[in-house]
Structures are given as structure tokens and as C-alpha cells.
Structure 1
Amino acid sequence: MKTKKIKLSKSLLIIFISITSILNAQKAETPNNTYDLGATINEMTLTVGGVLVVATNDGLVGIKPTESKPVFTFNAFGQLKPEETEFVPNSPYIIVSQGANSKFAGIAKTKRAVIDYITGDVIFNTDEANWNQIYTCNIILPENKLVVSGIQKEGDKFEKMTPKVAVYDLSSRKLDYSFFLDKPGRVGIARDVSVTGTPLLMKDFIIVPTAQGLIAKSHTGADVWENKVKDINWMVADKTGNEIYGFETTSNGKNTRIHKIGKDGSELWNDDRKVKGNVSNFEITSQGLAVVSDKNDGGSSSVFATKNESEIAFLSAATGEDVWEKAPKTKGYVQHFYIQDDGILFGIQQGGINKISFDGQALFKKPLKTGENIMIMAETPQGLIYITSEDANIVDLKTGDQVWSKPLKYKNSAAVASTYDDAKNRFLIAANETVFAIDADSGDVSELADTKFDEKEEPNTMQMKNGNIFLSSSQNMMLLGSNGNELYHEYFKSPGQSGFVKVLAGVVAVASTAMAMSTAARAGANRSAFGNSNDLSSYNSYGKEAKRASDMFAAIGDASFALMSQRFKATAATENSQFILTKLDDGVGLVKVNKETGKIDKEIVLKDKKPEYQVDEFGGILYYKANKSTINAYDLKK
């Protein structure tokens, strides 16, 4: 039988080819890698280094997208509770803890392990190192050391009962040195030398805070000095290493005592200095000591209860006495705190910005009244820009005078997005379904465009794209021309509210992980590892922050940190795309949408009404929990 040829018109052929190409480009249901973990998955965490760490019923598993098999599997301690896994901020390390953390030997066995999740190496394991009990386990950066204290099952019967400290080098994975905190078998009055806080590494010795007092030991374990300053939780030294400040939380937890100690162990103040609440920020300046402490009534309804607010104090480094005659009123918690050449600039979460000189004089003519939740305080060529959930303005950093004739005000908005349009020298702020354009020099405000997003969403991202204005939220994307005309608005219906949806972009992983820091780390301990967090940043400085993170990691000189540095040197793999979970024809899925066109470049059907997944936007990888024990990885860059 003769086959009949069907002739397609040129236009129909082009349409057919185009549709076929689009469908082929969009569909990507075959994963690039599949990881069968052999145990029920409980939680997935995307790390700063780009490795997905999965908690299972058996332990922890690390997945690196460039590897077809897990980079590590840690099952030595069995299933772990969330609180037993600590991701050390801005590092490739995980500290795994299990068992009671008793001060007293012999009561209960405690286990600790340290994992480098990038290489997959278990650097330290109490079982392998013969530790029976651990009091403290701290990673010190940028020195890249691990300091542990506790009871080690080595030596004679007295040594097996005497508290010990060991310092491990995390780069070489070897023990640097160790020593006993007391003489094994010592006869006499019992001494409680259990470790109470984070040890402080000095150039030639280490200071260990104990219930007996501070004990300084050389790297050989030789005694350097001891004093009677007890129960210190954390310490910080000045740049010279000659002066050390120790912080002790009082027994009721409502106050903090600050002690000053010389490098020879002498107490440099006649008496310690007590501040109310827990110290949340501490800065050594050339003029004195800036201290922020947070008070909390613990939920008390008593009229005599402590107010829930921060206190700011400025102390003499020489004596510990108050330099300011009267501390500034906060009436809320300090949300922003910056040390500047002429004084201290701070913003309150409940609203308000002020600046005080180092001698206690108000530098602003009057405290600024602002809306609640100060999302941004940053430096611009025009002055200090602040953006809250209710208003925005630029003010003179010296006087507090308004640069804009009056603040931009809008109704309390769940989300506020902003950016700077360099080509037109203007700030753009999106709030309450409106994009406002503010001339950077005059402060003149105009309503540039309306942004009515579906599902009552508000834009939470705004950036300039080739002279146009890109806005987005969870389910909406919009591109505006420079004059506010709408180039596209794409809406992708949400598959329904789900508490199981977990998205953490690698771009913001540093910030997210930093929030998990201990109070001590945020306040100042180990701050040298991260640079000075009390410096005021420049507006729209993401590129600078990424370079800062890259340089910080590179400076440590370790192979894993070098890989993290390379990650932050690279441009985000998906900077021109947004990923949205939506309802597709074949079920719930993730779409990759081009920011410049609003068109779908790829779609991945997940076939799950409540998918659990993580997107590494920096590396361009989707991790999806395909079933109770399997992770699928999709390359979103292609």
C-alpha cells in the first residue's frame, strides 16, 4: 500500500517544532542522581558548603551533588534528635552530641563526634579517642581547633578520674596537646575543676574556665597561672592579647557579671561589673566597652517583673565603671547595633533609631521615631537608609536630620522589598501593593506601579534586571519597565499550604546559619573568625558580603574552607531563575522560571501533594524526598 504523505505548511511545522521543543525543555522528571539511604528520612538540612545533610533513623548522611554516592554516612551513635546535631556556623563542621552532659565523672557516659561534611571525615569521636565523658566540645575559628574537656579512659586509675583538656588541629586531624586540669591522685581538699564554658586560645597558652576558677596552661600542660574567677561562660581578648574579659551568667540567669583579667591572670578591676539580663552584644573600642544586654521576665505577669527590653551600657575599660551618666532608653530589644567613628548607632525592634557619642551625648537632635521591625539599616552616599514594616527614610548619620523631607509611610506590610536603581539614581520600595520610587537626592516620592499579587502575597524580592524592575514572592513574578509599565506578571497557583515544604536557598544560607549561633558567639566570642559584625553595611551589598565570606573562608587555609570559598566566589548558578512549587497538569511540581521573560524553562513533576524538598539556588540543585528513604537530586542549571 502506498503511504500517503502529509504536507505541513511552513508555519504549522514551525509551531509543531516549537511546542515539541518547549515540552522537551520543560519536562525533567528523571533525576540526575538518586540516593537510597536505607533508612527513614527525618530531616534535610542544606549547609553553607552546599552539602545536603540528611538525618535518618540510623544517623546522618551527607549528599554532595557532584557525587553519585553519599559523601559520608555516620551511624555510630544511631538515630539523633534535632538538638543533638549542631551545624557550626560558617564552617564545614557538624558537632554530634549524645548522652547527659554531667559535670561529675562516672554518672553517665557522654558521646561527641565532629564531622567535616565536605570531605566526609569523622575528625573526632569520643569512642575512638577513649573519652568516657565530655563536659565541653568547642570549635574555635579562625584557629581551626577543636577543644574538648572531660574524662578520658587512659592511664592509671587516678588519671581516669581526673578532668582533662585536649586540643585537636582540625586541618591535620591530629591531637595538638592535652593536659590534666588537676594533679591525678592529688590528696587534699577536693577541687571542682569541671569546665564551665568555652576555653580561650591565646598565643602561647590556653585559658580554661572552671568551677574552681580560671586555669591557664601552656601547650605542654605546664601551669601558667590560676585565679579565683569562677563559673565563666565565655571570654574574649582585646587585639593585643593583654586584656581578657570573662562573662558569667548569674545562678538565676537574669544577670551577667563581667570580669577583666590580665594575661598574667591578675584581676584588673577592683570588682566585677554586673549588667541586667544576658549580654547579646559586646564590643571593645578604643574609647571603652560597649555592652548590650537583654532582659526577659520569663513570661511573668507580676507588676514587679523585669521589662522585656535591652539595656545599653558603655564602660570604662580601665575600671569597669559606667562612662555614661544616663543610659539611653530603649523601650524594646536592640535589633541593630553599630560602632562608628563618633559613637554608637542602634535601632530598636519595636521602632526607633538613635546615636550616642562615646561620652554619652546624644548625637541625633532627637531620637528617630520609626515603624516596628527595622528590616534594613544601611549606609548610602546620601546617609543612613532605614526600612521598616511601616515606613522608610534616609537620615544624616551625624545629626539624624531627615534627608527626605518626610518619611515614606505605608500600611504595616507583611513583606517589604527594595533595591537601588543606579541608572536613575533612585530607591525603589515595594509595600502594600505599590512600588514607590524615591529620588536619591531630593527625596521626592512617586507611585511608580501597582503590584497586586495573587493569593494576597506581597513582593519580598526586588532587583534590577537589565534596566527593568523584577519583583517576586512565593507564587508570583513580575517584571516592570523603568517607567513602571508591566512587562509581565506570572502567577503559579500554590499546591496548598503545607508545613512539610522546606526551602532554603544557598544564597541566604550564611545568614540563616549565623542566626543559630550561641549568644556568646553573637556577643563577641570568636568574632575574629567572621569579621566585625558591628560594622554598618552598605546598601545593596550582597556582592560585597559574598566576597567577604569567600575571603574569610580562604584565610583559614584548610582544604574544606577553600572549597567553601570557591562556592562563594562563583555567581549564583540560578541568579536568572526563580523556583516555584505549583500545581501542574500532571500533579504538584517545581517550575524553573526565567526572571527576564517569565517563561518556564523547566518543570519537575514531584507527584506528591506535600513534597519535602530543598533548593540550593547557589549551586542550582533540587533535592527531593522521593519516598521515606530516598533522595532524588535534579540539576536545575540545565
Structure 2
Amino acid sequence: MRLFVLTVVSLLLVKPAYSQNKMWEVDLKEALYEVGWIKQSNDGLIIASGAKGLLAMNNKTGEIVWQNTELKAVDKNSYMNIDGLPIIYVEYVPVVGKMRGLLINSSNGDILFDTKDEQYRIKDFTLIPNKGIILFELLKGNLRKMMCFSLKTWKMDWIASLGESKGLMNKYTKRSFVNHGPFFNQDNNIILGINNEIYTINSTSGEVVWQYEANKKINALVFSDINNSLYVGVKKSKKLKVLNPANGEDITPGKLKLKGTLVDVRPDNEDNLILVETEGFNIIDPKTNDFKWKKSFKIDFLEEVIAHDKGFIAVGKNEKEGSICLVDKSGKRIWESKVKGYSYYVTPTEKGVLYISTERSNILDFEKGKDVWKRDVKFKAIPAVTYDETEDKVILFENKKGYKFDLKSGQIELFAEDVELENVKRKTPLMAEYIDGSGYLLQTGQHVSLLEPSGKVKYTKYFEPASDLGGLKNAAQLGLFIAGVDFDIQGNLDNIEMLSSLSNGAYRTSADQTDGTSETTVQGGLYLESTSGDMVPVIEITKTRYSNSKSIKSHKFIVTKVKNKNAPNQHFIYKVNKKTGATDLQIELLDKTPNYLIDEVDNVIVVNEKNHLIRSYQL
């Protein structure tokens, strides 16, 4: 389900198209007095918060399903949907008492968990379907907690203490404080890595079985089920530690000393471990805890090693020049190729190793490491990426150029040049979407253009935002800065994930708009055993709603501001046809400070007008 909650400022104006599609109208003046905000839960209910409490409405009829008069003026920023489940999280401050956090069954309003006077705040969560639990990360001031919530009983099992959080970023954001894990060892205990500490928790009682503290941040934490060992890579350490996951005992053999400092530890495709250090990389056999190679393979500026059927792809990354090597399974170099610029994306394909650097891009064949493409492709920013199902090719667009990339043959074709898109610059974080029978939609929240397979632009439009979006435009640069890359590269980092999926044969993912949805989400198959022994479909409603989202795959919703010379500015919601670019429906926003919710699942808009009148319109 994809939904957008929008708050804009406009004057009280009415359009005929707005009233023609009204489905229902409910005045919540008596129930809530003033409606501060509306959201939508995973089961489709409209959650409304006001001065007199919190309530849920049937999104198809407007009927009030439940109301809690105690939960007055709930903090909008605290609202959270728990993925794929009819559970919401909110925070509020009672008239007498301290801040409280609540997990609520959105379908009936039952309170599943109440922090009461403990002042816990939920920061993040991990859904573990095969264990039938959700692990919630909590903060109480600076104190970290982990709560285990059972999906069999829909109750809290336990809360474990996990030390103290440091830094304002961790305290005031919803970012997870868990860096590694959770892993489950052979005793079914939970292993977590947090900064420089490891905690192992009894999954039944919540008791901390053992704890380990390193002198610096833990860069890598790998649990091997083969030899029941926990491998710990500490930042700038000269030794890879091996711990007994049952009790935390140090069982490190002396032969695992490092020549440089540790970069990473990760599994390969054959149940071995790849140890990457500044002086090279080697393979650890978990059965013996010994290195397989007498000498580590060395490469300058080594940052990444990718396991492949043909061996190991070693990537050296440097701002001016790096290198890519193919290494066989005995640790011998097959070939090495120099790469100009910083390689921010490297992945194997059927025809070789695809790389994208700040200076050039190409494919290096597996046989000799030679360029597959006759000419380098130069991307000045991260390209927009999609997949053409008809031509069976990956489509890349960047810097006014469109490319068709055949993953099977390895060939790339320039099919569009000097493409002019309205108000699109190099820094614009474009995303691409394949539109069956029409071409490739190039879009942001406010841009929408269609590039035909022939390279012709069918239409290009830009809609001025209702508010300033400047803080979002450098998402790629921020992401690379956090990753430690200190130079300019623009674009949308989501395109890197898309390219990775396509390179590995995943032509459709759960995020694809072309298919409307995915019916293979992990949560979609979640059936849990109740206390009576029956299998209960926990998220059957959610699955049904997801399948309905196909009905709006042909349109994009855009909120925009229209300036008038001799009249006040107006704000509209446009329903834009992706194939034609036409605005099939426009709804003028009415209220001075309205709250709008676009439900792309059932193709409706729910509007909070005058802070008490809730209306639903069919789009």
C-alpha cells in the first residue's frame, strides 16, 4: 500500500469536479471537536486524532469503527504503521502523567501494549515471521530496551535492557540503534550488535545470557551455523575474534591474526567466510577456522569483495583511480583492470563485471577483464533505472541521454540524445518506471515525463510544489556522505537498489509500480498458531488491499500550487495519466490548513476540512 499525507495552505474555493465524486461525509465536531490529523492503517481504516480522542473510520462508508476518548491530541509525528499488520503505534501525553506510547490493534482499537509511566518510545522494529514475533527497539531517555511482542498472543513477552545510547541523533530520530542482527544461534537465543557491544538474549525469557564489549566499534558480526561460531570484526583491529555464541567465550585461534586492519567479514556462496582487511583478503574455512590460502590476495584501496561462481571480484576504490580484479578460488589473480574515478557501483552480470564510477562506466568480461562496450558510458549522476518487459532490456536515463542495456548480451545502445525535460537538471533525483505499451516514465514528486522507446519525448511536465522541497534534493549526496564518500555525486540512491535487483535477475520487485504490487511479500504468507492451536491469518486483509492497488497503476497523484496574476494562489491535487500526461481529474484544496490522505489502494481521497469535516471522494 502506498499513501501520502499532505498538508498545504490554500483559500476556501470549490471546483465542480470535487463534489461530483463524493462518496461519504462525516462531521467529527461532536466526536473530536477539532481533527488535528488523519492517517490510514494497514487494514484501510482512517485514523483521526482530535482534541477529544483518537478514532478509526471505515474508509468505504465513513462509519466510526472505534473511539478512545482518553487518547487526546496524539502526536502526529509519533504515528507508525507496523508493516503488513493491523497494528499502529502512537504517543500522547495525558492531562495528568507522563508521555505514554501505545501499540493499538487498528481493526478494533484494543490496546496491545502501553508504556504507562515508563516513558518508553518505540524507535524501530523487526518483524520475524518464522519466529512469530516482532522485536521492538525502545528508548527510555538514553537507556536502550528491546521488547519481544508475540504474534501468537498479541501481547508483550518480555523487555530486555541493552545499555545506554549515546548521541542526539540516536535519541531524537527513529533510526535503528541495532547495527548487526538479529541472529538466532543454535540455542534459539537472539544475538545483537550495537556499536561496540554484543548482547545475547534468551528468546523465551528476555534475560541477557551474555554480553561482550569491544574497545572500538564492531564493523562486522557474522554468525556461522556450520561451526556454531560468532565472528567479530572490530574497527582497526589487528585480529579477527571468534566467540562461542552460547556463552561469549573467546575461542579465537592464533592463526586468524591480521596483517592490516579489518574492513569486513561476510559469507561467500560456499559457506565459507570472506575476510577483507586493508592488506588484502582471504577465505576462512569455518570447519577448521583456518585460512584457505597461504597468502592473502592484495589490491590497493581494497574496499569490497563479491563472491561469484567464477571466483571473487575484488574492488579497490579511490577518488582518482581504483581497480577491479577477478581472483580464482585458490587466491590467484585472473585479471586486473584499472578504473578511472571512484567506483560507487560494481556488480556481476552474465557477460562480466558492470561498474559505474564518477568518470566512466563499462562491463569487464570474465575472461580477460576487457571492456565489453566499445565506448565508455559516462554518467554524471546516478542514472534513473527501469526494465522494459517487452524488449527484455534495462533502461538507463541520465544527463539527457537514454540507454538500453541487454543484460544477456552485455551490449548497450544509446537510443535517446539531447532529451529536454521540463525543469530537470543534473541534480534532479529522477526515478524511472516502465509503462506497458507506451515507454518510460521519468519522474520525481513534481516531475512527470514520458520517453518513448524510439527516444521521442511524448510529454514533459513540471508541477510547482505546494511547499519547498529543497531539503530533499540532495538525498544521494547525503547517503554517500554517511557512507564515507566525500565528493559530489547526484541522483537518487534508490536507482542503485533497482540496478542491483535487475543485475541479479529480479526484474520485478515489491516496489515496482508496473505490477501495482507484489503478492510475494514475506508478510503475505504469515499465518500463526493461536493459543487454541488454530492457524490464524494475521494479515489476510492487508494482502487483499495490496492486490487492489493494480487499479491505479496508470495514474500518478501530484499536489501542486497554481499562481494567478490577479487572484490568490490555488492548490490542486492532479490525477495525471501516465500514458498521456493528461490531468484526468483535478481537485482543488479547500481549507486554510487542510489535511489530505490519498489512498492509492482503493483509489480515493479522504479530506479533513475545517478541522472537523471528513469527506471521501472517488478519484
Smaller-chain TM-score bracket: 0.5 to 0.7
Instruction: Assess, with a 3 A threshold, how the Cα gap between structure 1 residues 135 and 494 changes in structure 2: closer, same or farther.
Output: closer
The corresponding residue for 2:589 is: 606
Q: In structure 2, which of residues 486, 509, 523 is the aligned counterpart of residue 553 of structure 1?
A: 523
Q: Any idea what SS the aligned residue of 2:337 has? A: coil
- Is 1:206 aligned to residue 189 of structure 2? yes
- Is 1:171 aligned to residue 169 of structure 2? no
Instruction: Assess, with a 3 A threshold, how the Cα gap between structure 1 residues 283 and 133 changes in structure 2: closer, same or farther.
Output: same
Instruction: Assess, with a 3 A threshold, how the Cα gap between structure 1 residues 497 and 131 changes in structure 2: closer, same or farther.
Output: closer
The corresponding residue for 1:498 is: 468
- Is 1:145 aligned to residue 133 of structure 2? yes
How far off is 1:287 after superposition?
4.8
Moved more, 273-282 or 112-121: 273-282
The corresponding residue for 1:125 is: 114
Q: Any idea what SS the aligned residue of 2:525 has? A: helix
Aligned residues: 523
Structure 2 matches for 1:387-402, cutoff 5 A? 392-396=361-365, 400-402=369-371
Instruction: Assess, with a 3 A threshold, how the Cα gap between structure 1 residues 538 and 587 changes in structure 2: closer, same or farther.
Output: same
Contact 2:273–2:285 (8 Å) recurs in 1? yes
The corresponding residue for 2:550 is: 572
The corresponding residue for 1:289 is: 273
In 2, distance between residues paired with 1:475 and 1:216? 47
Larger radius of gyration: 1
In 2, distance between residues paired with 1:55 and 1:270? 59
Instruction: Assess, with a 3 A threshold, how the Cα gap between structure 1 residues 257 and 444 changes in structure 2: closer, same or farther.
Output: closer
The corresponding residue for 2:372 is: 403
Which structure has more relative contact order (CA 8 Å, sep 6+)? It is 2
Instruction: Assess, with a 3 A threshold, how the Cα gap between structure 1 residues 388 and 243 changes in structure 2: closer, same or farther.
Output: same
What is the identity, as a one-letter code, of the residue corresponding to 1:580? I
What is the identity, as a one-letter code, of the residue corresponding to 1:145? I
The corresponding residue for 1:243 is: 228
In 2, distance between residues paired with 1:69 and 1:484? 50
In 1, distance between residues paired with 2:186 and 2:259? 30
In 2, distance between residues paired with 1:313 and 1:54? 57
Structure 2 matches for 1:361-440, cutoff 5 A? 365-369=336-340, 374=345, 381-383=350-352, 385=354, 392-396=361-365, 400-410=369-379, 412-413=380-381, 416-421=383-388, 423-424=390-391, 427-437=394-404
In 1, distance between residues paired with 2:420 and 2:238? 48
Instruction: Assess, with a 3 A threshold, how the Cα gap between structure 1 residues 330 and 266 changes in structure 2: closer, same or farther.
Output: same
The corresponding residue for 1:306 is: none
How far off is 1:57 after superposition?
8.2
Contact 1:28–1:603 (8 Å) recurs in 2? no
What is the identity, as a one-letter code, of the residue corresponding to 1:593? V
In 2, distance between residues paired with 1:72 and 1:237? 45
In 2, distance between residues paired with 1:205 and 1:367? 46
Contact 2:281–2:297 (8 Å) recurs in 1? no
In 1, distance between residues paired with 2:375 and 2:383? 19
Tell me the TM-score normalised to structure 2 length.
Answer: 0.60
In 2, distance between residues paired with 1:581 and 1:57? 28
Q: In structure 1, which of residues 68, 87, 112 is the aligned counterpart of residue 62 of structure 2?
A: 68
How far off is 1:466 after superposition?
0.9
Q: Any idea what SS the aligned residue of 2:573 has? A: strand
Moved more, 41-50 or 473-482: 41-50
What is the identity, as a one-letter code, of the residue corresponding to 1:243? N
Structure 2 matches for 1:605-624, cutoff 5 A? 605-607=588-590, 613=596, 615-617=598-600, 620-622=603-605
What is the identity, as a one-letter code, of the residue corresponding to 1:289? L
Residues 129-166 of structure 1 deviation map (CA, whole Å, 9 limit, x = unaligned): x979899996551212256899xxxxxxxxxxxxx998
Unaligned runs of 5+ in 2: 1-14, 139-144, 163-177, 474-479, 481-499, 529-536
In 1, distance between residues paired with 2:150 and 2:312? 38
Q: Any idea what SS the aligned residue of 1:365 has? A: strand
How far off is 1:579 after superposition?
2.0
How far off is 1:489 after superposition?
1.5
Q: In structure 1, which of residues 456, 460, 464 is the aligned counterpart of residue 431 of structure 2?
A: 460
In 1, distance between residues paired with 2:331 and 2:52? 57
Contact 2:301–2:318 (8 Å) recurs in 1? no
Q: Any idea what SS the aligned residue of 2:423 has? A: helix
Q: Any idea what SS the aligned residue of 1:123 has? A: strand
How far off is 1:468 after superposition?
3.8
The corresponding residue for 1:260 is: 243
The corresponding residue for 1:588 is: 571
Moved more, 614-623 or 572-581: 614-623
What is the identity, as a one-letter code, of the residue corresponding to 1:572? K
The corresponding residue for 1:8 is: none
Instruction: Assess, with a 3 A threshold, how the Cα gap between structure 1 residues 608 and 81 changes in structure 2: closer, same or farther.
Output: closer
Q: Any idea what SS the aligned residue of 2:523 has? A: helix
What is the identity, as a one-letter code, of the residue corresponding to 1:268? I
What is the identity, as a one-letter code, of the residue corresponding to 1:68? G
In 2, distance between residues paired with 1:91 and 1:320? 45
- Is 1:542 aligned to residue 509 of structure 2? yes
What is the identity, as a one-letter code, of the residue corresponding to 1:552? V
Instruction: Assess, with a 3 A threshold, how the Cα gap between structure 1 residues 121 and 613 changes in structure 2: closer, same or farther.
Output: same
In 2, distance between residues paired with 1:54 and 1:329? 57
Q: Any idea what SS the aligned residue of 1:456 has? A: coil
How far off is 1:370 after superposition?
5.8
In 2, distance between residues paired with 1:278 and 1:34? 61
Residues 245-294 of structure 1 deviation map (CA, whole Å, 9 limit, x = unaligned): 276989xx99998542154765432489899999998547645334789x
Tell me the TM-score normalised to structure 1 length.
Answer: 0.59
The corresponding residue for 1:484 is: 455
Structure 2 matches for 1:85-234, cutoff 5 A? 113-117=102-106, 121-127=110-116, 139=126, 141-142=128-129, 143-146=131-134, 168-174=149-155, 201=184, 205-206=188-189, 219=204, 229=212
Instruction: Assess, with a 3 A threshold, how the Cα gap between structure 1 residues 444 and 617 changes in structure 2: closer, same or farther.
Output: same
In 2, distance between residues paired with 1:212 and 1:418? 39
Q: Aligned-residue CA RMSD in angstroms?
A: 6.1
Structure 2 matches for 1:15-26, cutoff 5 A? none
In 1, distance between residues paired with 2:258 and 2:20? 61
Contact 2:221–2:233 (8 Å) recurs in 1? no
Contact 1:43–1:56 (8 Å) recurs in 2? yes
Contact 1:385–1:393 (8 Å) recurs in 2? yes
What is the identity, as a one-letter code, of the residue corresponding to 2:575? K
Identity %: 16
In 2, distance between residues paired with 1:597 and 1:48? 31
Instruction: Assess, with a 3 A threshold, how the Cα gap between structure 1 residues 338 and 535 changes in structure 2: closer, same or farther.
Output: farther
How far off is 1:550 after superposition?
2.4
Residues 159-198 of structure 1 deviation map (CA, whole Å, 9 limit, x = unaligned): xxxxx998552232246689999xxxxxxxxxxxxx9998
The corresponding residue for 1:20 is: none
How far off is 1:578 after superposition?
1.8
In 1, distance between residues paired with 2:310 and 2:406? 28
Contact 1:243–1:260 (8 Å) recurs in 2? no
In 1, distance between residues paired with 2:230 and 2:125? 18
Contact 1:51–1:64 (8 Å) recurs in 2? yes
What is the identity, as a one-letter code, of the residue corresponding to 1:245? L
In 1, distance between residues paired with 2:160 and 2:439? 63
How far off is 1:47 after superposition?
7.3
In 2, distance between residues paired with 1:229 and 1:389? 40
In 1, distance between residues paired with 2:422 and 2:435? 22
